[in-house]
Amino acid sequence: MTTMLLSEILGRSDVPTVEISGISNDSRDVSPGDLFIAYQGSQFDGHSFIQDAVNAGAVAICAEQDQPSDFRIPWIKEYDVAQRQAEFAARFHGFPSSRLNVIGVTGTNGKTSVAFGIANLLDNTAFMGTLGWGLPSTLEETPLTTIGSVSLQLSLSQLLARNFDQVAMEVSSHALAQGRVNCVEFDGAVFTNLTRDHLDYHKSMRNYADTKMKLFEQPELSYGIVNHDDEFGCVIIDKLQQRNIKCLTYGANPSADLSWSGVRHTSRGLCGYWLSPWGHEEFFLPYYGSMYVSNAAAILLTSLCNGQEFADVVAQMRTLPPVPGRMEFIKRHGRLTVVIDYAHTPDALRHALVAARAHAQGRVFCVFGCGGDRDVGKRPEMGRIAEILADEIYLTSDNPRNESPDSIVDDIMQGIAEPDSVVVELDRQIAIQLAIEAATPKDVVLIAGKGQESSQEIQGQRIPGDDRSMVENILDGAHLCYSG
């Protein structure tokens, strides 16, 4: 078991001599011998849980508030604990990221697909992100796209213990703003795109963009991979060039380092041609949706920056495994096609619907909702996009959290010109079943918003249920009476 003196963890000598065997900022996870870190968060005040941590065996407290006069274990007051806890955890675990090649992937959409692809292509590389963390084929679940800084440093140390050399990590804007990736030494950084999301948190697109930029301001950064087609991507390119940091670009624009042409949709995936200084190569990608060409380009360039050969990577990408919950096609012989996708932003929904249309011989059905306690402004925009690009719309629940599902649907309806044509069914499983039963074998049913998620967040409860299982049960269960 790793132990360290409290003075070493905090980097100061004016504290009691206490041996620490672990660090936690969640009283429910405290083990005997731990240092408990308390601070005022956006939703909860950690100081309210200090006694719970002591009862669980914490031997010292690091907090932003003054020590009560009758407190019986060491209580160290520190400033800006929320941001500095990463420093304490990194020090305790021996700065694990300094012994790993860490590749950060940020952007509104595509983070999971790009990071997952990198982890599958590069040798001995772990994945950390929305799907979980660890070996891509056997991931352990995580509650957030980028986990909290204390848990993150522990996970990085565990990856080292498992003899991983590299990690491809999704880096969310929340993580950058809240300091969750402080003291993570990023060797490479990848930017996918910037479109509307999280404005409930960031308040403006400018703030959102400035937060994303933080990943490309990391002092240890060796290279950046940037989407040349994105307006904010061009700002990042300028920033990297000013810092004399290697920057490779990708995009449909031929001026990018890696571009593409002749993209075709097939029943098995995407075909086309890569155009680059490393050669022109025909490619096949086992994915659906034109956005995956852009994602694949980011994966390819990252592989080149990590010593891979261009032609070898192009060949390996032909057999990349599917990304769970990302444009997953489910089809039964003689029946319609169902697509499950994580799309929960306007831009992602647009791309998913365009991809569904490319594979539909008949109509496109869209089953979706919007998350509660999140950016309200994107709801009518998603309704507008669905009405333009889908033939049939089924509105349902998608993690309503503490909001009324009816209220969320009302917000979405604000963007729909003909609301009477929309089917509203708040029970997600029933909504999915209604859409599938209404479709014909030539139609495509897109179920958007939750992807691989295994539960719904409703009034503080997690209700089990995942879209894939629902779809498979419906397709394999009752006889479907196709309309039309």
Token reading at 177: 């703003």
Q: Where in the chain is the domain with CATH 3.40.1190.10?
A: 96-319
119-122 long-range contacts, Cβ below 8 Å, gap at least 24?
Answer: 119/167, 119/168, 120/320, 120/321, 121/299, 121/303, 121/308, 121/313, 121/316, 121/317, 121/320, 122/166, 122/168, 122/303, 122/306, 122/308
Q: How many CB atoms lie within 10 A of CB 201?
A: 16
What does the pLDDT average to over 69-77? 94
Token reading at 204: 């403006």
pLDDT digits (tens, 9 = 90+) for 114-134: 999 999 999 999 999 999 999
Domain boundaries 328-476, corresponding CATH code: 3.90.190.20
pLDDT at 156: 98
More confident residue, 221 or 199: 221
Q: Is 335 a residue whose pLDDT tops 80?
A: no
> Scanning the structure block, which residue is given the tokens 């870190």?
37
Q: Which residues of 426-460 are buried (b: 16+ CB within 10 A; e: fewer)?
A: bebbebbbbbbebbeeebbbbbbbbbbbeebbbee
How does DSSP classify residue 384? H
Query: Class of 4-92 per CATH?
Result: alpha beta
Nearest Cα residue to 110 out of 166, 169, 213, 192: 192
User: Above pLDDT 70, what percent of the chain?
Assistant: 98
Among the residue ranges 130-139, 196-205, 318-327, 403-412, the one predicted with the least confidence is 196-205
What does the pLDDT average to over 84-94? 98
Q: Is 44 a residue whose pLDDT tops 80?
A: yes
List Cα–Cα distances, 123 to 77, 154, 163, 377, in angstroms.
44, 22, 12, 42
Token reading at 210: 């400035």
pLDDT at 277: 97
What does the pLDDT average to over 173-200? 91
Reported confidence tier of residue 196, pLDDT bands at 50, 70, 90: low
What does the pLDDT average to over 80-84? 94
Q: Is 304 a residue whose pLDDT tops 90?
A: yes
How does DSSP classify residue 401? B
pLDDT digits (tens, 9 = 90+) for 397-426: 999 999 999 999 999 999 999 999 999 999
Rounded to two decimals, what is the model's pTM?
0.90
Torsion of CA 467, 469, 471, 474, to 10 degrees: -140
More confident residue, 200 or 299: 299
Q: Is 145 a residue whose pLDDT tops 90?
A: no
Q: Where in the chain is the domain with CATH 3.40.1390.10?
A: 4-92
Q: Is 42 a residue whose pLDDT tops 70?
A: yes
Reported confidence tier of residue 331, pLDDT bands at 50, 70, 90: confident
Q: Where in the chain is the domain with CATH 3.90.190.20?
A: 328-476
Q: Is 148 a residue whose pLDDT tops 60?
A: yes
pLDDT digits (tens, 9 = 90+) for 239-295: 999 999 999 999 999 999 999 999 998 888 999 999 999 999 999 999 988 899 999
pLDDT at 480: 45
Q: Is 202 a residue whose pLDDT tops 60?
A: yes
Q: How far apart are CA 347 and CA 378, in angstroms?
A: 10
CATH of 96-319, one of 3.40.1190.10, 3.40.50.720, 3.40.50.920, 2.40.37.10: 3.40.1190.10
Write out the DSSP string of 260-316: EEEEEE-SS-EEEEEEETTEEEEEEES--STHHHHHHHHHHHHHHHTT--HHHHHHH
